[in-house]
Amino acid sequence: MNLPLSLLDRSRTRTGHPDAQSLTQTVSRAQHAEAAGYHRLWVAEHHAVPGIGSGAPALMVQAVAQATSRIRVGSGGVMLPNHRPLLVAEQFAMLAALHGDRIDLGVGRSLGFTEPVREALGTHEAPVERFVADIGALRDFLTGAGPVTARPAGVTPPPLFVLGTGAGLDIAARLGLPAVVGGPAVWAGPEAFDAYRESFRPSPAQPEPYLVVSLDVFVADSARQARELALPEAWAMAVSRRDGAFPPLGPRADVPEQLSDRERTTVERAVGASIHGTEDEVMAGLTALVRRTGADEIMSTASTFDVEAMYESDRRLAAAVRAA
């Protein structure tokens, strides 16, 4: 398990806390992660979602990079249907100019969470070939090969990653880029990951395939306690399926003892998709995951209501991976 270990923090809002606190929590988590030895911390892009405080990855990356000194910082990711490639190139060239070789640029093609959000963003579709073309344009602007020069010029471009949902793995392989796989795709058969590596076309910036696998990972004194950490996020998922809105994280006490069949199925599926338990149990799960996927890096996406418990879980995970 001698692999880089990273975090994705989505600036989750929490019941009883102002939205702004989710942003300062992301910065604080990055500082804890840097002290614990994490390789990188990424932020995300979601718009008008009650459970997420940040919709501007470049601004969040700047805040985190300014408050840290070593850990890599990036986006997981910038949703290209919402942005022109030149503007993204300018933002991340500026970040690289300010913070050197610590900045990553992950891109995806997800649209807004609901139709009113998509209407507000002015994005209603994200064809695969348009996404491929936008990545190509973005790469050209970053490397100085575009029809105009993105400023600041002469900056070493940050590495590009493709979020591997839907056709993302195939796109990453075609363009010779690292891929990041999360959600249900993590539990696909090994053939999906083998196909990425076998069809990978080397590029000047990425001569070899590189796969980041992301999922919720929780470490505690027992499997039961680790499951308790996973429940607030799992319950938020169940509420979103029931009500159509992804809510802030609430305390464990907010999760009802009696759930409907549909709620129970959603909660158990979400908890079951995580790796949680003691250090030994988590390392066994991660080892099996790496063997099945061939992952080059693990990225924990774990969030829970209790921020201090989350920091402690992060610390224990990093220590367990380091000791393996």
Give me the pLDDT at residue 29, please. 98
> Residue 237 — pLDDT band, cuts 50, 70, 90?
very high
- Residue 1: is its pLDDT beyond 80? no
Strand-pairing partners, residue 6, are: 299
> Would you say residue 91 has pLDDT above 90?
yes
Whole-angstrom distance, CA of residue 314 vs CA of residue 324? 16
Cα gap 233→239, rounded to integer Å: 10
Q: Is 80 exceeded by the pLDDT of residue 165? A: no
Cis peptide before 157 (omega within 30 of 0): no
> Which pTM value belongs to this model?
0.96
Tokens standing for 16? 């009883």
What domains, with CATH codes, occur in the chain?
A: 5-323 (3.20.20.30)
Q: Tell me the β-bridge partners of 81.
A: none
- The structure tokens listed for 290 are 């790496």
Give, to the nearest 10 degrees, the angle between helix 261-272 and helix 223-243.
Answer: 130
Q: What is the pLDDT of residues 273-297, one digit of tens each?
A: 999 999 999 999 999 999 999 999 9
The pLDDT, as a whole number, for residue 245 is 86
Task: Single out the residue of 275, 305, 299 nearest to residue 41, CA to CA.
Answer: 299
Span 96-122, average pLDDT: 94
Cα 57 from Cα 321, distance rounded (Å): 28
Which of 39, 5, 8 has the alpha carbon at shortest distance from 26?
Answer: 8
**Chain-wide mean pLDDT for the chain?**
96
> Model confidence at 188, in pLDDT bands (50, 70, 90)?
confident
Residue 95 scores a pLDDT above 90: yes
Dump pLDDT digits (tens) for 26-79. Answer: 999 999 999 999 999 999 999 999 999 999 999 999 999 999 999 999 999 999
DSSP string, 52-111: B----HHHHHHHHHHH-SSSEEEEEEEEGGGS-HHHHHHHHHHHHHHH-TTEEEEEE---
CA angle centred on 224, ends 254 and 274, rounded to 5°: 80
Q: Kindly tell me if the per-residue pLDDT of 166 is higher than 80.
A: no
C-alpha–C-alpha distance, residues 321 and 172, integer Å:
27
Mean pLDDT of 105-129: 91
- The percentage of residues in the chain with a pLDDT greater than 70, rounded to a whole number, is 100
- Strand, coil or helix: 160: strand
pLDDT value at residue 129:
94
Percent of the residues in the chain that have a pLDDT greater than 90, as a whole number: 91
Render pLDDT for 193-205 as a digit per residue (tens, 0 to 9).
Answer: 999 999 999 999 9
